[in-house]
């Protein structure tokens, strides 16, 4: 239950205060979440602030934030709504406009907290490349980033190579080289061959890269919202989905998520 206490009950202050955050009161969700899909995310984020002063918001402030949001937020709070399936469908439709444009440079961060990350990440990347980066005219190499340790990262790299996927992890003579990582692959159009199919790295190495304006779209797929990734002048899509089924659905790689 998300519980807001209106200070107007006790005084003339227009403030609401988030007292608790649980997911059982769907009547409250129906008022804020169903009518304003992004409101549940805004209020949910407020509810976890340690400073009580930061857990306060006026109705005017809330409405102003809602009006400034042009895209639908798929957050961990939204997952509790009865209309979650409708939100996924609406977000899927919203993402399609940019996914249909092969000229856009895409960076994709996927948290290892996603359900069955280790088992499904290689399959997801393979399916993504088959849909969005398989033609000679697909010139913008996608970048995938994870928050896993180096042992798991190396295992993912090995499994991708086993699938005949050519990777660029940015390491040159045993050290990460940013220029080497971000270079364009050499392409042989006549043989339909390219030097590498994707860039792949980890968050501890690439946080600064993800915060630079070197992509058109940055997809952050993570259950939590505390990542220090906020690049300027980049379309950032924060997708707090629960599993790879939902992620494939949003990326138009599958027709359903159940």
| 216, 235 contact by CB (below 8 A) | yes
Tokens of 11: 């005084």
Report the alpha-carbon distance of residue 238 to residue 253 in Å, rounded: 18
Q: Write down the pLDDT at residue 55.
A: 66
- Identify whether residues 78 and 141 lie together within a single domain: no
Tokens of 7: 């200070």
Q: In the block, which residue shows the tokens 């399936």? A: 85
Which residues neighbour 158 within 8 Å (Cβ) at sequence distance 6 or greater?
none
Tokens of 30: 């129906």
Q: In the chain, what percentage of residues exceed pLDDT 90?
A: 52
**Interhelix angle for 150-162 vs 117-132, to 10°?**
50
- Identify whether residues 115 and 200 lie together within a single domain: yes
Q: Write down the pLDDT at residue 66.
A: 59
Q: Write down the pLDDT at residue 3.
A: 46
User: Model's pTM, two decimal places?
Assistant: 0.72
CA dihedral angle for residue 68, residue 236, residue 204, residue 113, rounded to 10 degrees? 90
Domain end marker among 24, 53, 82: 82
What is the average pLDDT across 165-188? 95
Structure confidence by residue, pLDDT tens digits, 98-146: 999 989 999 999 999 999 999 999 999 999 999 999 887 788 999 999 9
Residue 257 lies in a domain: no
Q: In the chain, what percentage of residues exceed pLDDT 70?
A: 68
Q: Which residue from 227, 204, 251, 257 is spatially nearest to 106, judged by alpha carbons? A: 251
Residue 258 lies in a domain: no
What is the average pLDDT across 30-39? 50
Q: Write down the pLDDT at residue 230.
A: 85
Q: Which residue from 82, 99, 85, 87 is spatially nearest to 38, judged by alpha carbons? A: 87
Residue 206 lies in a domain: yes
Domain end marker among 82, 107, 126: 82
- In degrees, to the nearest 5, what angle opens at C-alpha 201 toward C-alphas 138 and 153? 120
- Residue 237 banded pLDDT, cuts 50, 70, 90: very high
What is the average pLDDT across 148-172? 97
Residue 88 lies in a domain: no
| 170, 162 contact by CB (below 8 A) | no
Domain end marker among 50, 82, 114: 82
Report the alpha-carbon distance of residue 39 to residue 62 in Å, rounded: 8
Q: In what order do the strands lie in the sheet with 56-58?
A: 2-6, 15-21, 56-58
| 248, 127 contact by CB (below 8 A) | yes
Residue numbers of the domain that contains 127: 93-250
- In degrees, to the nearest 5, what angle opens at C-alpha 238 toward C-alphas 113 and 234? 130
Tokens of 16: 């609401």
35 pLDDT higher than 50: no
What is the average pLDDT across 240-257? 93
What is the average pLDDT across 34-63? 64
- Identify whether residues 11 and 76 lie together within a single domain: yes
Q: In the block, which residue shows the tokens 């990582």? A: 181
> Pairing relation of β-strands 217-221 and 235-239?
parallel
- Identify whether residues 23 and 142 lie together within a single domain: no
- Identify whether residues 68 and 101 lie together within a single domain: no
- Identify whether residues 225 and 147 lie together within a single domain: yes
Q: Write down the pLDDT at residue 16.
A: 42
Residue 39 DSSP label: H
The count of domains in the chain is 2
Report the alpha-carbon distance of residue 64 to residue 31 in Å, rounded: 17
């Amino acid at each position: 239950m998300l519980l807001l206490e209106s200070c107007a009950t006790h005084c003339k202050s227009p403030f609401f205060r988030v007292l608790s955050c649980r997911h059982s009161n769907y009547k409250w969700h129906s008022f804020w979440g169903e009518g304003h899909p992004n409101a549940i995310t805004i209020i949910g984020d407020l509810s976890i602030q340690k400073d009580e002063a930061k857990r306060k918001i006026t109705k005017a402030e809330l409405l102003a934030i809602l009006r400034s949001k042009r895209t639908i937020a798929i957050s961990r709070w939204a997952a509790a709504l009865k209309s979650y399936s409708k939100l996924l469908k609406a977000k899927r439709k919203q993402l399609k406009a940019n996914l249909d444009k092969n000229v856009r440079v895409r960076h994709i961060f996927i948290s290892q907290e996603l359900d069955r990350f280790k088992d499904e990440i290689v399959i997801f990347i393979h399916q993504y490349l088959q849909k969005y980066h398989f033609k000679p005219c697909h010139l913008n190499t996608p970048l995938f980033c994870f928050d896993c340790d180096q042992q798991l990262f190396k295992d993912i790299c090995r499994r991708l190579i086993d699938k005949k996927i050519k990777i660029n992890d940015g390491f040159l003579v045993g050290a990460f080289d940013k220029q080497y990582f971000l270079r364009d692959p050499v392409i042989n159009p006549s043989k339909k061959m390219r030097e590498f199919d994707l860039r792949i790295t980890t968050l501890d190495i690439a946080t600064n890269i993800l915060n630079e304006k070197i992509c058109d779209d940055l997809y952050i797929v993570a259950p939590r919202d505390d990542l220090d990734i906020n690049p300027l002048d980049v379309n950032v899509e924060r997708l707090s989905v629960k599993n790879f089924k939902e992620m494939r659905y949003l990326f138009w790689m599958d027709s359903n998520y159940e």
